[in-house]
Amino acid sequence: MTRLFTAFGALVILGACSSAGGVNPVFRAVWDRVSPGQAEPETAQTATAAPALTRARIDELNIAMIRVKVGAAASGSILTARTLNGGYATYSSSNQQTITLFNALVTAHRGIGFDLLAVAHAPNDPLAVRTPLDDWPSAVRRDYRLSGTGPDGTVLSVNCAFRIGPPFPITQVEITYETRIVQESCTGDATFQNLHMVEKDGHVWRTAQWVGPQMDQFEIEILEPLD
């Protein structure tokens, strides 16, 4: 029996050691957990709580900014705009996890789980093209492209109907917006609901969107818009 435990001990400890990669990452993670004294020292950034975000600070940075919360996460992460390609704005976190928006429509994300590669939207999609709330179409079609076999990947097509709800003002980093709740119900290759806080002129300030069948919903606050 001792020999058996020795064998399995060796399996765990020596799991794929090499000159290139050191010990295996699983063992490293376990070791760091049981031996916190051996873990990498905290950096200044991790040791000190991030300062509270203020409107003055956002104005000072003068950069498009969103706050994103994934699923039931307790707090959101700040992402700032990095690139704008043909209307597609890609926001990046400090860990270089990225989310791409076309106006207020999430069209892609990377490094957050199961990637959403792209979204094709209708020309009158009010999330993609700012549209006064009174003119929102009753329904639009979207194609969500996910990874799969071949260049085309897997495409899920849905039809989404909008229902404008009651007025509900929201405050985001010291600014209050007179928004209404808009519920979006999508059916087709996937079934889900999105929720948006929209001003009368069609500006979406907060949105909770489906971003893939195996992902939790993204809740996004537009803290500083692109324009």
Partner 1 sequence: MRRAIQLVTIGFLAATSVPAAAVTFGPSLNINGTVGLVDMPSALTFPDGQTSWSFTGSDTMSGTVLSFQLLPNVEAVIRMQNLRDWNGPGDNQAERSLDLKFVLFQEQGWRPALALGFTDFGANGPLASEYIVATKSLGENFRVTAGLGWGRLGTHNPIGAPFGTRAPQNSNTPGIDHFFAGDMAFFGGFEWDTPINGLTFKAEYSSDAYIGEQLAGFSVDSPFNFGVDYRISRNLNLGAYYMRGNAFGFRVTLTGNPNTPITPPDFGTGPLPVRARTTDSNMATAWAGNAPVRGQMANLLATSLAEIGITIHEVRMRGDTIDLQIQNNRYVQEPKAIGRLARALTVALPPSVENFRISLVNGGLATTTVVLRRSDIEAQVERPDAGPQSYATTQFLDAPNHIDDADFVRDSFPNFSWSLNPQLDVNLFGGSAFTQADVILRGNASYRINRALAFNLAVSQRLIGNIGKGADPSMSPLPHVRSDAALYDSSGPVLNRLTADYLFKLNPSTYGRVSAGYLERHFAGVSAEVLWQPTAQNWGIGVELNYVRQRAFDNMFDLQDYETLSGHVSLYWDTGWNGFEAQVDVGRYLAGDWGATFSLSRRFNNGWEVSGYITLTDVSFDDFGNGNFDKGIALTIPLDWTLPYESRSRTTIGLGGYGSDGGARASISNRLYPIIRDYNQQDLHDSWGAYWQ
List residues binding partner 1 (CB under 8 A).
3-4, 6-8, 10-11, 14-20, 25-26, 82-83, 85-86, 88, 90, 92, 95-98, 100, 107-115, 117-121, 143, 145, 147-153, 163, 165, 168, 170-171, 181, 183, 185, 187, 191, 193, 195, 197, 206, 208, 214
Give the whole-angstrom CA distance, residue 140 versus residue 87: 19
Cβ–Cβ < 8 Å for 214, 181 = no
Minimum distance, C-beta of residue 54 to partner 1, in the bound complex (Å): 16
In the numeric block, which tokens belong to residue 162? Answer: 């909008």
Nearer to partner 1, 11 or 37 (CB): 11
Tokens 């959101």: give the residue: 76
Give the angle 83-87-90 at the CA atoms, nearest 5°. Answer: 30
Apex 176 CA angle, 170 and 179, nearest 5:
50
Q: Is 64 helix (H, G, I), strand (E, B) or coil?
A: coil
Closest to partner 1 by CB, 26 vs 50, is 26
In the complex, minimum distance from the CB of residue 101 to partner 1, in angstroms, rounded to a whole number: 10
Residue number with CB closer to partner 1 (60 or 171): 171
- Residue number, 18 or 48, with CB nearest to partner 1: 18
CB of 24 to partner 1, least distance (A): 8
| Angstrom distance (rounded) from CA 193 to CA 71 | 14
Of 37 and 95, nearer to partner 1 (C-beta) is: 95
CA distance 96 to 76: 15
Residue 222 Cβ, how far from partner 1 at the closest point, in Å? Answer: 14
CB contact at 8 A, 121 and 144: no
| Shortest distance, position 116 Cβ to partner 1, whole Å | 10
Whichever of 213 and 225 has its CB closer to partner 1, that residue is 213
- What minimum distance in Å lies between the beta carbon of 196 and partner 1? 10
User: What's the N-to-C CA distance of the chain in angstroms?
Assistant: 69
